[in-house]
Amino acid sequence: MIRQVCITCGAEYGADEVIYSCKRCGDLLDVEYDYEALAERLEGSDWRSLPLSVWRYRDFLPICDLSKVVTLKEGGTGLHQCSRLSNLLGVKRLYVKNEGENPTGSFKDRGMTVGVTKALELDVKTVICASTGNTSASLAAYAAKAGLRCIVLIPSGKTAYGKLAQAMIYGAEVVQIRGNFDQALRIVLKLSERHREVYLLNSINPYRLEGQKSLAYEICDQLNGKAPDRVILPMGNAGNISAVWKGLTEFHRLGLIDDLPRMVGIQAEGASPIARAIKLGSDVVTPVERPETVATAIRIGAPVSWKKAVRALRESSGVAETVTDEEILDAQRMLARCEGLFVEPASASSIAGLRKLVELGEIDKDEVVVCVATGHGLKDPDIVMKMCGRPLEADAEVGSIEKLLGLTQAFR
Ligand code: F0G
């Protein structure tokens, strides 16, 4: 039995009720299962023999009619052991979960395959979201595959071009508002409350987060049934850290892992309401009025899932940290040059955070650490070209290139 449950007052709602917040207290909802029945179902299931992907975990997902699944082959992303980078940073074992390997280049695809499938189960025809870029790219792709109308609201000016291009080519109706992400989210929430026909697929929708929790399952399965000591993630709207923690606690509850890791949430200094609250020891997050960072994906001042994120950090004895734009860009370059992994700035913030926390002595050198790299570097090439400068230039002639590159050891 699947139900939607308010995280604060515990009010319960049916699985097929289209609802984004509690009618009684207005707080966020979580999807809950009958875990005894789930454990029994797993006994008879062949899930372990399926390839690594979101739908390997179909028994753990809130979808009843598997014939409706809308998939572009999401999940099954690499967990890369990064020995050169771990030597540089001074940790023994570091893995990067490279979510840029997903179909539209970010972890959002895990949520959208489930969210858009749910939309078909609910028989809705139009899906909508607000986005800093990746959510819109992903929703647009899955809506196209499902034949649904897709509307996205993005903030003016700051959306990375790669992401905007994706949303446009997949055929979404893209509305750029004269405002920031937080304003865009408030508007789509209003629209979905006022209009029965639009189904909201921001991370306030608990079904989308159910898909995202597969990230946690995959990490544990890729580490042969063991959780790492730490999982480090960037936080924007804070849905993903909440989803990953839910996935980890479910695996633990079902006896699929023995220990739980400590969660680490990283925010950019100019958009860090959750990290600031956690560092101050407060459980109340005050929005940042004008969020600003080079990591445009997480340029968010009023994270909608802050309560879930604070709970994940508290329950796991976790920590939160802030990193500067310079630290983020340094980490992005380091990961590319040491490990061949090109990730976008928001994703690199998890590496920047690890570096800072090792230096501060918060993360021990013996820990097994997983950093989640949430999106592909090609999403935002402009920022890289600004950082790396222009390529070298030479005449189209062997001699001048030899001279330029200092190639002196000729064959005799
Ligand atoms: N990393 C990337 C690459 C993202 O695109 C986002 C969020 C995050 C991290 C943060 O995840 O919001 O769950 O804490 N991007 C959203 C979007 C807001 O609209 O694409 P979160």
pLDDT at 157 exceeding the cut of 90: no
* Residue 338 near residue 307, CB atoms below 8 Å: no
Considering the segment(s) 79-104+209-388 as one domain, its CATH architecture is 3-Layer(aba) Sandwich (3.40)
C-beta of 312 in contact with ligand 1 (< 6 A): no
Exposed (0-12), middle (13-18) or buried (19+): which is 259, by Cβ within 10 Å? exposed
Determine contact, residues 345/100, Cβ cutoff 8 Å.
no
C-beta of 374 in contact with ligand 1 (< 6 A): yes
Q: Mind listing the pLDDT tens digit for each residue in 200-233?
A: 999 999 999 999 999 999 999 999 999 999 999 9
- Residue closest via CA to ligand 1's atom 14 equals 238
How many Å lie between the centroid of ligand 1 and the Cα of residue 354? 18
Q: Is 344 in the pocket of ligand 1 (CB under 6 A)?
A: yes
Kindly give the distance from the C-alpha atom of residue 297 to the centroid of ligand 1, in angstroms, as a whole number: 5
How high is the pLDDT of residue 150? 98
Residue ranges covered by each domain of the chain:
79-104+209-388
What 3-state DSSP class applies to 183? helix
The helix/strand/coil state of 33 is coil
Confidence category of residue 372, pLDDT binned at 50, 70, 90: very high
Give the pLDDT confidence of 287-325 residue by residue, as tens digits: 999 999 999 999 999 999 999 999 999 999 999 999 999
Look at strands 319-323 and 198-200 and give their pairing: unpaired
pLDDT tens, position by position, 227-280: 999 999 999 999 999 999 999 999 999 999 999 999 999 999 999 999 999 999
Test site for ligand 1: of 127, 132, 231, 296, most ligand atoms within 8 A of the Cβ: 132
The arithmetic mean of pLDDT across residues 378-405, rounded, is 94
Hey, what's the torsion of the CAs at 364, 365, 371, 376, to 10 degrees?
140
Q: From the CB of 100, is ligand 1 less than 6 Å away?
A: no
Other CB atoms within 10 Å distance of the CB of residue 222: 17
Which of ligand 1's atoms lies nearest the C-alpha of 203?
13
The arithmetic mean of pLDDT across residues 60-79, rounded, is 97
Mean pLDDT over the full length of the chain = 97
Q: Is the CB of 133 under 6 A from ligand 1?
A: yes
CA of 285 to the centre of ligand 1 (A): 18
Mean pLDDT over 149-170 rounds to: 95
Question: Does position 166 have pLDDT exceeding 90, yes or no?
Answer: yes
The protein residue whose alpha carbon is closest to atom 15 in ligand 1 is 297
Nearest ligand 1 atom, CA 133: 20
Sheet-wide strand order for 149-155? 173-177, 149-155, 126-130, 198-200
Whether ligand 1 lies within 6 angstroms of the CB of 237 is answered as yes
Ligand 1 centroid distance, CA of 141 (Å):
17
Q: For residue range 185-201, what is the model confidence (pLDDT) as tens digits? A: 999 999 999 998 999 99
- pLDDT band (50, 70, 90) for residue 410: confident
Q: What is the mean pLDDT of residues 57-73?
A: 97
Residue with CA closest to ligand 1 atom 6: 297
Residue nearest to atom 7 of ligand 1 (CA): 297
pLDDT at 158 over 90: no
